[in-house]
Copies of this chain bind each other. A is one copy, B any other.
Amino acid sequence: MEEKGISLAVIRRLPRYYRYLGELLENEVVRISSKELSEKMNVTASQIRQDLNNFGGFGQQGYGYNVEYLYNEIGKILGLEKKYNVIIIGAGNLGQALANYQDFERRGFVIQALFDVNPRLAGVSIRGKDVYLIDELETYMKEHTVHIAALTLPKTKAPQIASDLVKWGIKAIWNFAPTDLNLPSDIMVENVHLAESLMRLSYKLKTHEEAMQKKE
């Protein structure tokens, strides 16, 4: 299976396919045509075929897609066959919200522990996950296998903690701090920049209103 040169846009869409197929599975749908899938997902049928052809197809002329098979195959492409140990750095509201998502665990992302600078949070347990003082992070990293660290920290603190984590062996960071981390290229980073998402919404509102005014 050739996965070279897969565009970022395809990679953005794959988890969405996975989510839809999961919903179809829950509703006990056995197969679906690319046309039906495209209507449900608001993407053209040829786009879907093209996206999936990047990974070798999976469809069958005249039959469409077998939902469970396609769901499992996309899961494999996304690396969801494995279990990932996740720690959360920053046990404020956002860190606690992440620790409370049961959906993550279903997909193999197992939250192991939270860390915070606030001594009042240390010792607390969130859905069975302990909160440790940040000073204990180095020892924790030495004694446990951690695949992913989620950073729910202020932007002033995130870059230093991120580079410490890299020193202690982390390979992937899920960054919620509103800043870029500038880590070595072999460290995988996925950013969730909430303020930027909100600005895209105000951009859409503004351009939509302008278009409406022109029509009048």
Contact = CB atoms under 8 A, between A and B. Distances in A.
A17 to B, nearest CB: 10
A186 B208 contact: yes
Interface string A179-216: 11000001010101111111111111111101000000
A11 interface: yes
A190 B201 contact: yes
Interface residues of A, number: 58
Contacts of A12: 200
A14 B82 CA distance: 35
A168 interface: no
A100 interface: yes
Interface of A: 3, 11-12, 14-16, 18-19, 23, 42, 77-80, 82, 84, 92-94, 96-98, 100-101, 103-104, 107-109, 147-148, 171-172, 174, 178-180, 186, 188, 190, 192-208, 210
